[in-house]
Structure 1
Amino acid sequence: METIVIALGGNAILRKGAKGTPEEQWETVRQATREIVRIAGNGARVVVTHGNGPQVGYLIEAFESLPPEKPRQSLDLAVAMTQGWLGYLIAHSIEREARSLKIEAKTAVIATRVMVSRRDPSFQNPSKYIGSYYTKEEAKRLAEKYGWVMKRDPRGMYRRVVPSPKPLMIHEADRVKKLVDEGYIVIAVGGGGIPVDEDMNPVEAVIDKDLASSLLARTIGADKLIILTDVKGVALNYGEPNMKWLSKVSVDELEEYYREGHFPPGSMGPKVLAAIEFVRATRGTASIGSLSEAYKVYKGESGTLIVPQSIKN
């Protein structure tokens, strides 16, 4: 039985323009988990990870709206909250979808801590987008009011950015592997993991979930890494007239494109880097594709497939 780590994007769970109501979230997660259950139904052992950019930003904005005398919660606690929030949505939806399809499935949600270094350069150059989208004028006002760092999102408009240090070690990886081996569909590394330093002190940051998912996949010996997002795959010159979608690419070719700067750091860049790191370390395969076509991405019929060997023309 192959082990697959499936990474769900936070922006794919809560799409741009959505209000974020519970009904919207349940419906979007239901669509994703139906695909995941189909993959698990093929006999694969599955670990699900997820982003939390919109959700953790929502919580931070909610904290700031409290009366001045109420304490604000830290970013690491907000990440932990989203692990429970989204873990519940995903696990419950998986079991409901499995029941409707008459497939046996049991889930486990693990609060996951991930070690980072306080010397990581991201603390001097925040790059992880969280929260809502704003106009340039709104972003300027919020930056002045709260001291937030605001940048233009690759999807358009402006969002808050926070430090996103590189994941170095996943504390609960051994427990994830044990549960997977026992037949559980495990939901872990939510929001990239709760960041802690080498001395186990909490760190205010949001780790990139794709890099953390790749690290988890390598640590537990997964065979495949599948990264699901809100676009259909990896493209060169994205959004330009000469845009070219990549259906299958070797890790060497993809790394060359990465070095040429085709993939923005706040968007496709971490996904491509996560795929490169996984394929390099394991000689397995990685796929990047649309959340709505997850099963086709798994089967190699959609998205971008990254393979270890060179592709002959």
Structure 2
Amino acid sequence: MKRIVVALGGNAIEAGDNSAAAQEKQVKKTMKVVAKMIENGDQVAIVHGNGPQVGNLLLQQYKGSSKDNPAMPLDTVVAMTQGSIGYWMQKALDDQFKHTNYPHQAVALITQIIVNANDPTFKNPTKPIGPFYTFNEMQR
């Protein structure tokens, strides 16, 4: 038995298609491999990124925002995308386990971290969220 941490980046989940259906399909492919590890007796923890998903949801929020229905703040949008990706993973693993009669279920957890507001890396951010734009797209 091994203890394995699987790290899945938000860009790997998106894989060039922002739709929920395409992202869920990507997660299903990965969870088939992860399920085999678990079924072999390995202890597996899965962590994931969500940068593109956060950015896309923020854009959706802002485009539909109004006085009566304002956009959600960044921390809430991060939690929303954590939840949806965790849900896709849990669902894919549970579906895989049903096909193999593995007698357990997956669990998704939403987490928080404490960020030091004085961290010097905030002066030179290197990890964007959301889509990238060409110069012409940016001008529009």
Q: TM-score, structure 2 length as denominator? A: 0.89
**Any conservation in 2 of the 1:87–1:109 contact (CA below 8 Å)?**
yes
120-129 vs 46-55, which deviates more? 120-129
Question: What SS does the corresponding residue of 2:131 show, helix, strand or coil?
Answer: strand
State the AA in 2 paired with 1:108.
V
Match of 1:242 in 2: none
Conservation of the 8 A alpha-carbon contact between 1:98 and 1:105: yes
Which amino acid in the other structure matches residue 136 of structure 1?
F
Aligned in 2, Cα 1:95/1:132: closer, same or farther, shift over 3 Å?
same
1:191-241 C-alpha deviation (Å, 9 max, x unpaired): xxxxxxxxxxxxxxxxxxxxxxxxxxxxxxxxxxxxxxxxxxxxxxxxxxx
Q: Does 1:110 find its partner at 2:109?
A: yes
| Higher helix proportion (structure 1 or 2) | 2
CA contact (8 A) 1:56 1:82 kept: yes
In structure 1, stretches of 5+ residues that fail to align are 142-313
Unmatched runs of 5 consecutive residues or more in structure 2: none
Runs of 4+ in structure 1 off by over 3 angstroms are none
| Aligned residue number for residue 132 of structure 1 | 131
Distance 1:45 1:31, change over 3 A: same
RMSD: 1.6
Distance 1:140 1:105 in 2: 52
SS in 2 for 1:7: strand
Asked if 1:5 is matched to 2:8, the reply is: no
Q: 3-state SS of the aligned residue for 1:129?
A: coil
- Counting aligned pairs with the same residue, the percent is 35
**CA–CA separation in structure 2 for the residues paired with 1:49 and 1:102:** 25
Match of 1:108, SS? coil
Instruction: Kindly report which structure 2 residues correspond to 1:67-216, keeping only aligned pairs within 5 A, or say none.
Output: 67-69=65-67, 70-141=69-140
Residue 140 of structure 1: how far off its partner (Å): 4.6
> Which SS does the other structure have where 2:129 is aligned?
strand
Q: Deviations over 1:50-95 (max 9, x none)?
A: 1101110111101110244232322111111111111100001001
Q: Secondary structure at the match of 2:110?
A: coil
Residue 43 of structure 1 corresponds to: 41
Counterparts of 1:133 and 1:15 in 2: how far apart (Å)? 14
Report SS of the residue matched to 1:134.
Answer: coil
What is the distance in 1 between the residues matched to 2:75 and 2:131? 19
Could you tell me how far apart the structure 1 residues matched to 2:104 and 2:139 are? Answer: 48
Q: 1:46 to 1:82 in 2, by over 3 A?
A: same
Deviations 1:236-283 (A, max 9, x none): xxxxxxxxxxxxxxxxxxxxxxxxxxxxxxxxxxxxxxxxxxxxxxxx
Which protein has the larger Cα radius of gyration, Structure 1 or Structure 2?
Answer: 1
Which protein, 1 or 2, shows the higher relative CO under an 8 Å CA cutoff with sep ≥ 6?
2
Superposed, 1:294-309 pairs within 5 Å as none
Distance 1:29 1:106 in 2: 17
Which structure is higher in strand share? 1
Paired residue secondary structure (1:73): coil
Report the counterpart of residue 194 of structure 1 in structure 2.
none
- What TM-score comes out, normalization by structure 1 length? 0.42
Query: 2 CA distance for matches of 1:29 and 1:45?
Result: 19
